[in-house]
Amino acid sequence: MKNFQNKNKILKALVLTLELLAFALLLYLVFLPIVPATEYKVATYRGTLPESKNIEVVKKDTVKIVNHLPQNKDDISANRLIITKIGVNAPIVESKNSEYGLSLGAWHIPKSANPTKIGNMVLTGHRFKYLPPSNLTFYLFDKLEPGDIVSIIWNQKTYYYKIRETKVVDKTDLSVEAPSDKPIITMYTCTPIYSTEKRLVVIGDLVE
């Protein structure tokens, strides 16, 4: 009888533990995705957001980030997309395979330009990967606005682009990848959040 009671207690304890774990997982899934947006709102309210429109300040913040990048030669890519305002610090991945490129950071659309060539440099990234926050994703992409500065590290040199336009287009609209006779950057990701219905597009002009 005692044996049975002991087993029964152990079983109840196990069930309770599993229930608690399931509840904790549910809380994780529900609340973690809103953490980046909440932190952004708090930083905005407190006035502690990184300066994003003053190029000299963005330069200093970019240098700080660059100084802490991995020095490992086997790192994914020495080229980098840095958006200090929304915490993006992602390798720019060169690949013909979109799934591979997007899984590692910001995918450089094949045959699009780069900072050393006049044209349209096109980058795309996941809005989220598994669950945010992640510096590899464009989770807070909707917070970008005209005047914000974006940094591109390319072949060990840093280039800066000033955002001039943000817009939403259909996912089938490839006009945003069209060549340009000026040095510009076009970045896009999925919108609304957790959906692939449309594309949120950010376009910037090379300033330095």
Cα–Cα distance, 186 to 188 (Å, whole number): 7
Using the structure block, give the residue that is written with the tokens 């044209």: 119
The tens digit of pLDDT for each residue in 94-153 reads: 999 988 989 899 999 999 999 999 999 999 999 887 665 678 889 999 999 999 999 999
The strand pair at 198-206 and 184-191 is best described as antiparallel
Q: Which ranges in 55-204 belong to alpha helices (H)?
A: 55-67, 98-104
The helix or strand, by DSSP H or E, that contains position 5, with its residue range, turns out to be: helix 2-31
Report pLDDT digits (tens) over 73-99. Answer: 546 788 999 999 998 999 999 999 988
**At the top level of CATH, which class does the domain 52-206 belong to?**
mainly beta
Domain definitions of the chain by residue range? 1-49, 52-206
